[in-house]
Amino acid sequence: MRRKIGAEYNSKDKTTFTVWAPLKNKVEVIFKDRPSVALTKDRLGYWEKEVSGIPEGSYYKFRLDEKEDFPDPASRYQPLGVHSWSSILNQNLFSWNDNSWKGIPLAQMIIYELHIGTFTSEGTFEAVIGKLDHLLDLGINCIEILPISQFPGDRNWGYDGVYPFAAQESYGGPEGLKKMIDACHQKGVAVILDAVYNHMGPEGNYLSQFGPYFTDKYQTPWGAALNFDDKYSDAVRNFFLENARMWLEEFHFDGLRLDAIHEIIDRGAKHLLKELSQEVDELQEKTGKQYVLIAESDLNDTKIINSYEKGGFGLEGQWVDDFHHSLHTVLTGENEGYYEDYGKMEQLAKAFKQAFVYDGQYSRFRKRTVGNSPAGLEFSKFVVSIQNHDQIGNRLLGERLPKLVSFEGLKLAAGVLLTSPFVPMLFMGEEFAEENPFQYFISHGDPDLVKAVQQGRKREFEYFNSQTKGDFSDPQARETFNDSKLNWGFKEEPGKNALFEYYKYLISLKKDGAFNSFRNEIIKTEVKEKKTIQVLSGADKKLIALFNFSNKNEEVLLPEVTKGWELILASADKKWNGTYDFPSDFKGGEKINLPAHSLIICKTRI
């Protein structure tokens, strides 16, 4: 049974204030322009009171033990920033127009990851609406937005959020967010939120003032872990489970991408993620709407996505870093840091076939055995990408793939992504070879914290010797943020426009089921002379994909089939700004020329 928290506006200027502060002797809600009101404590440490005569939009804080005043940890709106007053929000005011929307299954999603602040020049929720036609033209049916919980200032990736219930004011606040989601649903686009349940940001984080939200039993990269299994943990679990419910139910999100779940440490009888998954199942049954939960995890542990019956958490899907790393290293030749575990063509072939490269192998970088076997799991459980915010933004210079590989290499990478049997995710601008970097940026108000972040970023690159030779972009500088915004003038550049059309065609093929035999039938992956990968579906040879990662053209022998092969796609074709003309079909057993850094996809003639 969930316990509602925060300021719940009921009706006729009545608001119920609820806050958890189990170790306090007195808690009051204070207002800017009226007397304070003492709250009443229950046996679980929740303080609550319904207060009349408080109009929506009123500012309030909580006063603890007649000493200090703090914003509401479950504030729905922080219009004045992370250190200032919370504001009462009437969630019932917005008129939704998406009543017929029922969501999209993960297996059918073409996901597009974007950062609200840099996706458009305006950097707001409502500005995203103006780009929906572009996304629809591309074939996108789901956007995944980086975290939007209120953070300090107006520039941040979102992982420094400190008010998990409050949509970032500089993006347009809760009203702008609802408008964006409503518009997306009316155009058939699902919306997933990147939710951070493994830590809180460092500035404006007052949770510890209220109660034991953290535990010293475990440490994370951000300090003490959130308290999900120690004394008083029931209320901490409630806090985050209520947060998930709010985003899905009150804001109509279609799902959550759960950040770095390997840092959500819970050794209780029922892991927080399993409890979350079960509660989302109940919400789905209640609303009749499809919801998805996608985990970010570097564990390669199928427990996350296995069913409850198999002892799993029951999440719909998870990100797979192995797919990105194995492709990135083969394309770029990079082998520093965690990339030292990759770089072999056989690993890329394995990733294409089963997502996990490390399914029980020893990792040189981690110096331990990693992963277990994904055998028997549906391919749609795995979300893969060739670019994302982490793999770009966590480079010293924030370079995107177009700065690292050739134009033909970009098309080859896109082909591997979109022909794979997994759920594809693009990163904003990938479809038109965006060259502006996506760098790490912040706008903290504490000079000491800014200095600590700058030094911390430097230390993060100690495993990447070649990257430390570049100029370090100051995360606090506004220019770092501005330089990371997308350049939407791609239509004026033939190469970029050709890449957009290429992505569009590949996505249409995937959505129409052209590559389904890679998903539904046994796949044979074969590496030829450590340069090319041949992927063949099933014993009946319905579909073949040939990938050449060599710097020179290669002759490849097509398998024998009775009626020959029909060409579906050749990435080096002039149609896609390449330099070759290809016939529409090939004979079975024919030797064909596979250009350098290109792919060819064929299906058997019927």
Q: Which domains does the chain have, with CATH numbers?
A: 6-87 (2.60.40.10), 522-604 (2.60.40.1180)
Is 88 labelled a binding residue?
no
Residue 259 is assigned to a ligand binding site: yes
Tell me whether residue 185 is annotated as binding: no
What six digits make up the tokens of 419?
Answer: 């022909």
Nearest to 302 by CA among 362, 377, 368, 358: 377
Residue 606 confidence (pLDDT) = 80
Q: Is 392 annotated as a binding residue?
A: yes
Q: How far is it, in rounded angstroms, from Cα 397 to Cα 172?
A: 29
Radius of gyration, alpha carbons of the chain: 25
Question: Does the annotation place 328 within a ligand binding site?
Answer: no
> What token pair was written down for 146?
């980086």
Give the pLDDT confidence score for residue 311 in this predicted structure. 96
* Nearest residue to 259 (alpha-carbon basis) of 198, 331, 185: 198
The per-residue pLDDT for 433 is 98
324 is in an annotated binding site: yes
By C-alpha distance, which of 80, 94, 76, 88 is closest to 52?
A: 88
Is 389 flagged in the annotation as binding?
yes
Model pLDDT, residue 470: 58
What distance in Å separates the CA atoms of residue 220 and residue 278, rounded to the nearest whole number? 26
pLDDT value for 28: 99
pLDDT of residue 3: 94
- Going by C-alpha positions, the residue among 535, 486, 515, 255 that lies closest to residue 387 is 486
> What's the confidence (pLDDT) of residue 15?
96
Q: How far apart are CA 467 and CA 469, in angstroms?
A: 5
Residue 1: the pLDDT is 61
The residue type of 520 is N
Residues in the chain with pLDDT < 70?
1, 462-471, 539
Residue 198 is predicted with a pLDDT of 98
168 labeled binding residue: no
Q: Which of 271, 162, 147 is nearest to 208 (CA)?
A: 162
Whether 34 has a binding-site annotation, put simply, is: no
Active site residues: 259, 296
